[in-house]
Amino acid sequence: MRNFFIILMVLTSSLSMAQIAVKGETVYTMDGKVITNGVVLIKNGLIEAVGAASEITIPGGYTVYSNKIVTPGLIDTRTVMGLSGLYNQPHDQDQLEKSDPFQPELRAFDAFNPQEELLAYARQFGVTTINTGHAPGALASGQMMIAKTWSPDQKANITDSVSYVAFTLGSSVANIYKKPGTRAKGIAMLRQELIRAQEYIKKKDDAPRDLKMETMAAVLRGEIGALITANTSVEILAALRLGEEFGIKITLDGAAEASVVLKEIKKAGVPVILHAPMARSYGDLKNASLETASLLKKEGILFAIQSGYEGYVPKTRIILFEAALAASNGLGMESALESITINAAKILGIENNVGSITTGKQADLVLYNGDPFEYTSKVCTVIIDGVVVSNECK
């Protein structure tokens, strides 16, 4: 189902023909090189050229934007923006359906509000792409999707309508639903549903349509990934066993106790969308650590840093700040930047389009007036698909 909805960038002629030159004292391409006094040329929404100012001549007619630091647009790999709204009121809280603990058929784009103010809030901090959808808390809470935080037509910013089905293991499920009440029951219920999906696949056209089973069958066939929220080491190992037993593509979400089972995660070859480093350390997150990102890096495990889900206003964290904390706790600046750009794109399977400043990729760039992870620095210019969507230091 990947790319079921492709952005149809039907821009006005002035936008589609936009010709932009971006100059930075330092350009972090996230494509294997850092360029001093760099230039990026943008034409028709794509990156036309990138290199040192001594190598690239800016053609006439290009509008020039310049600042100290340039990075790719930031990618938030796990959020509920667009389903969860700014005002924390029932009318804008569609991130978790509480009538049933197992609802993989719920489609994120059926509840996604492209005009939600949280998108603009995150965008002003450089977030250009999000993997958003149903929140953790249900055994299967629903589907996730990938979207840009801006588009010329607010109906057209969905780039992938189904990126994952979101599952949750752990005590938070029992806190909301009558069942499952224990971790063992939760895994047993998931295994049973996957077995039902196997039978559904065998019956093919003879079986009546079942939206739950259609979705789970797509997971079994590898058409949709399984994003499994698992924070304790017990839950992480259970998720890995589930992936191995049924041959499904899983990505670990949260992984607060990943440090305890690093070898097992690495052996399984499973990527991690790590909890927000500043997330409150209680419940299943009680052993969360600011140093987990650096440990994943040392072990060679592909990971990204997320904003996650917040139950209070303003309803979202900002990955720029979260990565900064990881950077200062052993991860380092460039590795932290990787975790919210190119590595995030790789985990989501969109690295051919975004995540680095590379010729031919979509022109999503962010300009800063200083070190992106320095608290006093500001995001000054945000470019999405070659369009300057903001140009004011916030």
Residue that the structure tokens 């020039």 belong to: 64
For residues 18 and 150, state if they share a domain: no
For residue 107, the model assigns a pLDDT of: 97
Q: What share of the chain has pLDDT > 70, as a percent?
A: 94
With a cut of 60, say whether residue 106 has pLDDT above it.
yes
Mean pLDDT of 157-183: 91
For residues 140 and 64, state if they share a domain: no
* Residue 129: strand pairing partners: 75, 148
For residue 74, the model assigns a pLDDT of: 98
For residues 274 and 325, state if they share a domain: yes
Kind and range of the H or E element at 337? helix 333-338
Is residue 124 in a domain? yes
For residues 205 and 317, state if they share a domain: yes
pLDDT band at 207 (very low <50, low <70, confident <90, very high): confident
Mean pLDDT of 237-255: 98
For residues 244 and 315, state if they share a domain: yes
CA distance 32 to 259: 28
Contact 378, 370 (CB under 8 A): yes
CA distance 8 to 227: 27
Identify which of 99, 113, 131, 128 has the alpha carbon closest to the alpha carbon of residue 307: 131
Contact 152, 12 (CB under 8 A): yes
For residues 103 and 227, state if they share a domain: yes
Distances (CA, A) of 333 to 70, 79, 122, 203: 14, 23, 21, 52
- State the pTM of this model: 0.94
Identify which of 133, 74, 92, 162 has the alpha carbon closest to the alpha carbon of residue 338: 74
For residues 262 and 164, state if they share a domain: yes
With a cut of 70, say whether residue 17 has pLDDT above it.
no
Q: What share of the chain has pLDDT > 90, as a percent?
A: 81
pLDDT band at 13 (very low <50, low <70, confident <90, very high): very low
The string of pLDDT tens digits covering residues 39-60 is: 999 999 999 999 999 999 999 9
Is residue 3 in a domain? no
Query: Helix, strand or coil for residue 13?
Result: helix
For residues 220 and 369, state if they share a domain: no
For residues 29 and 79, state if they share a domain: no
| Number of independent structural domains in the chain | 2
Please state whether the peptide bond connecting residue 314 to the residue before it is cis, i.e. omega within 30 degrees of 0: yes
User: What range does the domain containing 43 cover?
Assistant: 13-71+357-391
Is residue 260 in a domain? yes
Identify which of 120, 109, 170, 174 has the alpha carbon closest to the alpha carbon of residue 142: 109
Mean pLDDT of 142-171: 90
HSE (side-chain half, CA atoms, 13 Å) at 366 = 31
Mean pLDDT of 187-209: 92
Mean of all residue pLDDT scores within the chain = 92
Is residue 7 in a domain? no
Contact 20, 57 (CB under 8 A): no
pLDDT band at 10 (very low <50, low <70, confident <90, very high): very low
- DSSP notation for 212-239: HHHHHHHHHTTSSEEEEEE-SHHHHHHH
CA distance 132 to 182: 27
For residues 27 and 119, state if they share a domain: no
* Listed range (157-171, 245-259, 262-276, 360-374) with the worst mean pLDDT: 157-171
Is residue 337 in a domain? yes
For residue 7, the model assigns a pLDDT of: 39
Residue that the structure tokens 């965008």 belong to: 123
Is residue 341 in a domain? yes
The string of pLDDT tens digits covering residues 60-103 is: 999 999 999 999 999 999 999 999 988 878 888 999 999 999 99
The string of pLDDT tens digits covering residues 325-353 is: 999 999 999 999 999 999 999 999 999 99
For residue 153, the model assigns a pLDDT of: 76
What is the CATH number for 51?
A: 2.30.40.10
For residues 339 and 304, state if they share a domain: yes
Which residues does 82 contact at the CB level (< 8 Å), separation at least 6?
A: 108, 111, 112, 113, 114, 116, 118, 119, 130, 132, 147
Please state whether the peptide bond connecting residue 136 to the residue before it is cis, i.e. omega within 30 degrees of 0: no
Tokens of 183: 């971790």
In this structure, the strands spanning 74-79 and 379-384 are unpaired
Which residues does 51 contact at the CB level (< 8 Å), separation at least 6?
A: 35, 38, 39
Contact 294, 262 (CB under 8 A): no
Q: Higher confidence at residue 178 or residue 29?
A: 29
For residue 14, the model assigns a pLDDT of: 47
For residues 170 and 221, state if they share a domain: yes
What is the CATH number for 194?
A: 3.20.20.140
